[in-house]
Structure 1
């Protein structure tokens, strides 16, 4: 992204995705299908990095949280669409059962690729490359005629100058140096909190509903629908209560619900009422996840990293999150069917004995509690702050709990006017 820009990198990834779909579509053996999936996964991982970085650089402060949180909603909508398509093809007894779902990816590529010609490049990236005229042209495309583009450009230039003065750097190693180390820690922490709080345990909820008599597909659709509603509600909450408050209260609720699921699973002989209660609690957990740490994570990823290393910080956090995901159960099923992605939770490795079911709530509840303690002391409030203000707050080593009310001196006075103008044009 730093070499070719957000726009070109994103377009290249979409084109590569369209090409790799051919491997998946024409695969007639597991080896070929696996190869296609692995190659596609390498490209798809780029979208997770590009999306929040680009969104945070082309929108005003007032709507920055909404657009970056939209990444989580896209995940939810993708799950819903994917489940709907596979539900319609799963009864087929030929290769079309999986070829059709893969082929539908070309539909999105056909829409996105032409649309890239109308997408402006990130003005922040253009400024870092010294392309001031292109940056100004990009800002004019992003804002209405009423916005003072010169002031907006001056704000970006000054923020970039400040980060150079603060030695923010622009390499992967710079993400772990000086003030950037704290910012990278926050990015990694908020992303890994998704895994550590038990997001993959939700897959087990479909098993509970199945035991209670509800088809697995319906259970999955219910979970996705709840997640969709939760993410939309989070847009309103994040601008009223703030990122930090919503993230911490969300973690507190997730901790409580995980522990409660574990307690219910300890009931002797597990009556049907307990099974239904656990299933409902998992839906409630999913709701609070998608109303708090699910979408807010992507907001904090974009806002806590310095602009010069934002793409690299998000990439590092994404890699850490995926590594964490590889160390917990990805798909939890009855004892003879569940799988473990790698070596974590050793006692779950015996498929004939380790049927601990909802008692995993104790494990993830404990991890979520640790995440809550960490976030209380480390995750700052970034709502309403410009990138220059955030740079100064981190450089002054302001404690996370004092970010919200901290008064700064020396920030660009016109920044607020510039942001307000962009907001009105949005």
Structure 2
């Protein structure tokens, strides 16, 4: 009869194996995971009768895309201001098409890794351009919903990835890893076609002194019955740019840390960073907890689909909620619920080897996902667009994206050590760590996160320049002239 120590040792070995597999999936990502297993015989090394991809290469391929995204986010600020949103996005699409081609036809791991890194540069551009472009071209009434839809795009992307993974799961030929790459070609091509009919940002055109082009862009963005207000809308855009010119003479990265822009940059960095440090790294290991609870690995895929479905529903629910309650209220309440759930996950780890407690942990992780996707996830993209000034929006969001990517890399590397029984052996107790971090973030949100709902960009410029505290943002009255301009938009 096995002793208790033997059972614990065996249990720990199984958990370590699950952690290692889960970590491999996190490091490889969808595209790498879909191709490396069928392609292991070509790219891998023979080890104990099987072809495997060495750990350094797995890490390199997994981190290559993330590192490229970090660099790309910082690099996109200059072309966004030099060439505009539309042309930069078009160039980014062409860039992606080229580097997907390199990955699709790669003949060795070196070429594949290079392709991952340079493709990641393009992804860094996309993450910045999407909210910047959306906030520049949409009216006040649609700004929240449209910018929050950036989060929905991420969720839909997960659905497509999961569907593709299911479709190629049983294949052992080259198409098993080529099909996922080929599907990536669809999106930049579609974007390029759509950009032929899309207008440039009126704010960017005004900054370039191209008044007629800005008016033409506004014509594309309005219906025929609203054309009578074009001149007034153009004046509003010019006045906003003029006011910001008085505050900041240039549009460099250093300007993001000067005057009132320092506060705006801080807010953008924090609301974006909370997406990582507020619990997402732990929730990403929900499959690990389901496996501990006895769920068959074959069902893990369906749990992932269900989790993504919760994210889709949550993001859609965020639209009416933000229109009714604004940004600050939803964000803070979401953080409060998420913080509580993280501590509950930690407390549920107190019973040792309790299957019911582990199932409860996994269930609370799904609830956390739903709350996150209904509050913090989508509202983040709304806030970074509304808090940043129009002249520095591209660079401010780029800085926030780079900081978030950096911390994402750190947690991707650190989580396996935290959960492994041979290392930190935290398991569900990691909920205490992320709960504590989330609690600190909640305090920050209460003290520093402003309410931006219903404010045009010029109003936000005035309020930030006046140094109004976050808790008084919603009730602060700006000058009557700005209220008259608000009626135009």
1:118 counterpart SS class: coil
Residues 261-293 of structure 1 deviation map (CA, whole Å, 9 limit, x = unaligned): 0110121222x2111111110000000100011
CA distance in structure 1 between the partners assigned to 2:426 and 2:239 by the alignment: 56
Structure 1 unmatched ranges of 5 or more: 333-337, 341-347, 420-426
Give 1:299's match in structure 2, choosing from 375, 382, 386: 382
Give 2:336's match in structure 1, choosing from 229, 244, 252: 252
The alpha-carbon deviation at position 349 of structure 1 amounts to: 9.0
CA distance in structure 2 between the partners assigned to 1:98 and 1:149 by the alignment: 50
Structure-2 residue corresponding to 1:179 = 260
Give 2:196's match in structure 1, choosing from 117, 124, 127: 117
Structure-1 residue corresponding to 2:269 = 188
1:36 counterpart SS class: helix
Is 1:265 matched up with 2:349?
yes
CA distance in structure 2 between the partners assigned to 1:22 and 1:317 by the alignment: 30
Structure-2 residue corresponding to 1:326 = 409
Is 1:312 matched up with 2:382?
no
Is 1:284 matched up with 2:367?
yes
CA contact (8 A) 2:132 2:394 kept: yes
1:169 counterpart SS class: coil
Structure-2 residue corresponding to 1:203 = 284
For the structure 1 residues 330 and 145, does the alpha-carbon distance in structure 2 shift closer, same or farther, using more than 3 Å as the test? Answer: farther
Residues 175-212 of structure 1 deviation map (CA, whole Å, 9 limit, x = unaligned): 00011000000000100011111112122111222333
For the structure 1 residues 353 and 163, does the alpha-carbon distance in structure 2 shift closer, same or farther, using more than 3 Å as the test? Answer: closer
Is 1:388 matched up with 2:452?
no
For the structure 1 residues 2 and 261, does the alpha-carbon distance in structure 2 shift closer, same or farther, using more than 3 Å as the test? Answer: same
CA distance in structure 2 between the partners assigned to 1:222 and 1:232 by the alignment: 16
Structure-2 residue corresponding to 1:376 = 446
Structure-2 residue corresponding to 1:415 = 485
CA distance in structure 2 between the partners assigned to 1:351 and 1:48 by the alignment: 36
CA distance in structure 2 between the partners assigned to 1:219 and 1:266 by the alignment: 25
CA contact (8 A) 2:85 2:133 kept: yes
CA contact (8 A) 1:168 1:308 kept: no
Structure-2 residue corresponding to 1:343 = none
CA distance in structure 2 between the partners assigned to 1:203 and 1:176 by the alignment: 33
The aligned runs of 1:127-138 (5 Å cut-off) are 127-138=206-217
CA contact (8 A) 2:322 2:330 kept: yes
Q: Structure 1 length as normaliser, TM-score?
A: 0.92
The alpha-carbon deviation at position 410 of structure 1 amounts to: 4.7
Structure 2 unmatched ranges of 5 or more: 1-79
CA distance in structure 2 between the partners assigned to 1:118 and 1:239 by the alignment: 29
Structure-2 residue corresponding to 1:100 = 179
The alpha-carbon deviation at position 350 of structure 1 amounts to: 6.8
Of 84-93 and 40-49, deviating more is 84-93
CA distance in structure 1 between the partners assigned to 2:472 and 2:422 by the alignment: 51
CA distance in structure 1 between the partners assigned to 2:81 and 2:108 by the alignment: 38
Q: Structure 2 length as normaliser, TM-score?
A: 0.80
Determine which structure has more spread, i.e. the larger CA radius of gyration. Answer: 2
The alpha-carbon deviation at position 121 of structure 1 amounts to: 0.2
Structure-1 residue corresponding to 2:318 = 234
The alpha-carbon deviation at position 134 of structure 1 amounts to: 0.1
2:255 counterpart SS class: helix
Is 1:45 matched up with 2:124?
yes
For the structure 1 residues 239 and 298, does the alpha-carbon distance in structure 2 shift closer, same or farther, using more than 3 Å as the test? Answer: same
CA contact (8 A) 1:226 1:287 kept: yes
RMSD value, Cα: 1.5
Structure-2 residue corresponding to 1:8 = 87
Is 1:73 matched up with 2:135?
no
Structure-2 residue corresponding to 1:153 = 234
Structure-1 residue corresponding to 2:41 = none
CA distance in structure 1 between the partners assigned to 2:195 and 2:201 by the alignment: 13
1:266 counterpart SS class: coil
